[in-house]
Structure 1
Amino acid sequence: MAVVRWVLGRLILTLNWLFSPRGIKRSAEDQRAVDALTANLALYQYEACPFCVKVRRAMKRNSLKVALRDAKRNETYKNELSEQGGKLKVPCLRIEEKGEVRWMYESSEIINFLEYKASQA
């Protein structure tokens, strides 16, 4: 089963690389405004997880800079996700606003939130 998962993961990453979306072109000022809105976000993810790829593609499509945290390969991020987020499930968006932290786990919900942030600038 591990071999099948590894092969499927590589296939997902290859297809993502081949058919990578183009980002939105913004003026430098507008991009800085968008970057400021996403500076307090971090995506906990696994590289080959199809739902994580879906979220990363949406980030690229919208030219969003969100910190990526590999919870599979980095024990610190894995522990943060488990202990602070409440469960070891990816993708997970860590949102820090007004001194409060919240965790968002569903890929479609994360994408909707990111698209909303992109539209605010």
Structure 2
Amino acid sequence: MSIELYALDGCPFCVKVHDALQDNDIEYETHWTEAMHSDRNEVKRVSGQRGVPVLVDTDHGVTMSESENILQYIEKTLAQ
């Protein structure tokens, strides 16, 4: 799958990104992360930091964090 989202259950910023992906019928895989920042090693490996959400678009070679940046990317690049 070319779109992956690293998210935390209950995170309002992650919900915004999930909603935008779903509203635009974009297929993606969610990787649920641990609540403790210190346990988010997979997120750090992928993005260099431990915050969520993180979107990975392997087709375009893009990895990004910060929900507002991700929402703009979805609108400008992924939405049809």
Q: TM-score, normalised by structure 2?
A: 0.78
Match of 1:118 in 2: 79
Structure number with larger C-alpha Rg:
1
Match of 1:36 in 2: none
Runs of 4+ deviating beyond 4 Å: none
Query: Which residue among 100, 103, 106 is the counterpart of 2:66?
Result: 106
For residues 97 and 62 of structure 1, the distance between their equivalents in structure 2, rounded to whole angstroms, comes to 17
Number of residue pairs the alignment of both structures matches? 75
Query: Which residue among 3, 17, 24 is the counterpart of 1:55?
Result: 17
- Amino acid in the other structure paired with 2:55: L
For residues 95 and 108 of structure 1, the distance between their equivalents in structure 2, rounded to whole angstroms, comes to 16
SS of 1:111's equivalent in the other structure is helix
For residues 5 and 23 of structure 2, the distance between their equivalents in structure 1, rounded to whole angstroms, comes to 16
What stretches of structure 1 of length at least 5 have no aligned partner? 1-38
Greater strand content: 2
Greater helix content: 1
Q: Using CA pairs under 8 Å that are at least 6 residues apart, name the structure with larger relative contact order, 1 or 2.
A: 2
- Amino acid in the other structure paired with 1:41: I
Identity among equivalent pairs (%): 31
